Amino acid sequence: MENTLGCIGTLRTVLVRLSLQVKKHGWSEDTLRAALLAEAQVTQILHEIVDGEERIAPGIQRSLALPSTKSSKRRVA
């Protein structure tokens, strides 16, 4: 869920992309990583979520950590 931030539409997109990649290249962790959103996409979506929540409930406080950009590999869980 970390990669799709709990967004069901985003999860669906990732799963569709994964399905296409598996048909083409077979199953592997690399195939899964290739289907996941890029860190920049996750960061942008997270910013949009926080901005939207702020519009709905001004003053709301969240403690969300942005994805780390220290490594180029994405975590698979």
pLDDT in tens, 12-52: 999 999 999 999 999 999 999 999 999 999 999 989 988 88
62-77: average pLDDT: 54
Q: What was the pLDDT predicted at 42? A: 92
pLDDT in tens, 50-62: 888 889 988 877 7
Residue 65 binned pLDDT confidence (cut-offs 50, 70, 90): low
CA distances from 34 to 3, 37, 58, 59, 76 (A): 12, 8, 37, 37, 11
Q: What was the pLDDT predicted at 60? A: 77
